[in-house]
């Protein structure tokens, strides 16, 4: 019996020594110490041993069990410790390394400029409205008093989808949508994207943005237009900004004008920024043409109004002194993060 136990022990210890994974050690535990293991089998056989021998054999079995258990446990501990050390090594953090920079998105200069424009006009009591980018000829041209043979209607200037469906070339189309609602008075600001068949260069893009203003009420005069746009210019370009209105022609306004602001870079003395003139052209405006009101069933003898249209890019390029419009569309992070 003694030799048998010795043999079991030697064998078990040998197996333990050969093991280099926890699963293997577990197997040894099951095979030698488990319910169906070899030592248990010996214990079960005790009933065949002579009664006076039993305590001695029992003790021997226990000693063998303890010896195997001890070696097994220390082998398990050793493996566990090694695994832990391995894990710690893998997870080591060098706290002296520079951290990853968290990169933040930036608001687009157009967007910042538009927000300021909206703030100014909402402050003056305007409502911000939007209109469709895909329009009928009627809204983009006809109802704005733009005749069928007007050069703007040429395919070289306008993107046609088919027949009289087109991409709007101006936010002035939103004027018509508001006028035909017939809800007076009207005081709206309509920002949005417009499209023209232009080649891309430093000052042109086939898709850019405008904002349109329209006021219609009783007793609206050219002074109201001047006062409003003067206030706008001062708020957006600075208190000292002066405005100049030059006669111009637009089919949907009569009289029409273009507005220049005194150069905010040189104060009007003339510099590279304003090409030496001291003035910078900003927008088109005028008194709503009686014909435009009539076409939307508004009586021009009772109501008058003014309108203006501004290129949003023009404002953001000037305000942030950007000299190439293409920068606004390239989404270059190095450019955008300056704002």
Secondary structure element (H or E) that encloses residue 165, with its range: strand 165-167
Stretch that binds ligand DAH, among 38-46, 201-209, 229-237, 304-312 (CB under 6 A): 304-312
Measured from the CB atom, the residue of 32 and 252 that comes closer to ligand DAH is 252
Considering the complex, what minimum distance in angstroms separates the CB of residue 294 from ligand DAH?
17
Considering the complex, what minimum distance in angstroms separates the CB of residue 248 from ligand DAH?
8
- Strands of 243-250's sheet in order across: 127-128, 186-195, 207-217, 304-311, 279-288, 253-262, 243-250
Can residue 205 be called a binding residue for ligand DAH (CB under 6 A)? no
Going by the DSSP 8-state scheme, the letter that residue 326 receives in this structure is G
* Contacting residue, 215, 284, 303, 328, with ligand DAH by CB under 6 A: 284
* Contacting residue, 250, 264, 279, 303, with ligand DAH by CB under 6 A: 250
Angle at 283 between CA 192 and CA 133, to 5 degrees: 20
Can residue 172 be called a binding residue for ligand DAH (CB under 6 A)? yes
Strand 243-250 versus strand 279-288 pairing type: unpaired
Minimal CB distance residue for ligand DAH: 309
| Residue 203, both tokens | 């000052």
Separation in Å, CA 290 to CA 144, 173, 293: 10, 16, 5
Stretch that binds ligand DAH, among 125-133, 262-270, 296-304, 307-315 (CB under 6 A): 307-315
Can residue 309 be called a binding residue for ligand DAH (CB under 6 A)? yes
CB 110 within 8 Å of CB 193: no
Q: Which of residues 212-231 bind ligand DAH (CB under 6 A)?
A: 212
Stretch that binds ligand DAH, among 117-125, 127-135, 239-247, 279-287 (CB under 6 A): 279-287
* Contacting residue, 220, 285, 293, 318, with ligand DAH by CB under 6 A: 285
Residues near ligand DAH (CB under 6 A): 170, 172, 212, 250, 253, 284-286, 307-309
């Amino acid at each position: 019996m003694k030799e048998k136990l010795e043999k079991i022990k030697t064998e078990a210890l040998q197996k333990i020594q050969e093991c280099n994974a926890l699963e293997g050690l577990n197997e040894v535990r099951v095979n030698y110490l488990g319910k169906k293991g070899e030592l248990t089998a010996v214990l079960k056989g005790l009933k065949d041993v002579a009664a006076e021998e039993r305590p001695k054999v029992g003790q021997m079995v226990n000693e063998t069990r303890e010896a195997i258990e001890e070696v097994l446990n220390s082998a398990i501990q050793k493996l566990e410790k090694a695994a832990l050390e391995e894990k710690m090594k893998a997870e080591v953090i060098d706290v002296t390394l520079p951290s990853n920079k968290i990169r933040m998105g930036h608001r687009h200069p157009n967007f910042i400029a538009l927000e300021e424009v909206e703030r100014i006009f909402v402050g003056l009591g305007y409502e911000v409205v939007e209109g469709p980018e895909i329009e009928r000829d009627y809204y983009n041209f006809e109802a704005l008093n733009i005749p069928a043979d007007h050069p703007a209607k040429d395919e070289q200037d306008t993107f046609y989808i088919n027949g009289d469906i087109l991409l709007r070339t101006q936010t002035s189309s939103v004027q018509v949508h508001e006028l035909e609602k017939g809800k007076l008075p009207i005081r709206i600001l309509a920002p949005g994207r417009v499209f023209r068949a232009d080649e891309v260069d430093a000052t042109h893009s086939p898709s850019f943005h405008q904002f349109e203003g329209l006021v219609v009420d009783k007793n609206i005069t050219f002074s109201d237009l001047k006062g409003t746009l003067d206030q706008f210019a001062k708020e957006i370009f600075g208190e000292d900004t002066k405005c100049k209105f030059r006669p111009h022609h637009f089919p949907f306004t009569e009289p029409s004008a273009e507005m220049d602001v005194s150069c905010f870079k040189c104060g009007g003395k003339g510099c590279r920024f304003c090409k030496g003139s001291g003035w910078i052209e900003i927008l088109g405006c005028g008194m709503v043409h009686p014909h435009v009101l009539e076409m939307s069933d508004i009586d021009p003898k009772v109501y008058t109004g003014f309108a203006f249209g501004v290129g949003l890019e023009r404002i953001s390029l000037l305000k942030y002194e950007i000299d190439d419009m293409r920068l606004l569309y390239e989404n270059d992070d190095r450019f955008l993060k300056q704002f």
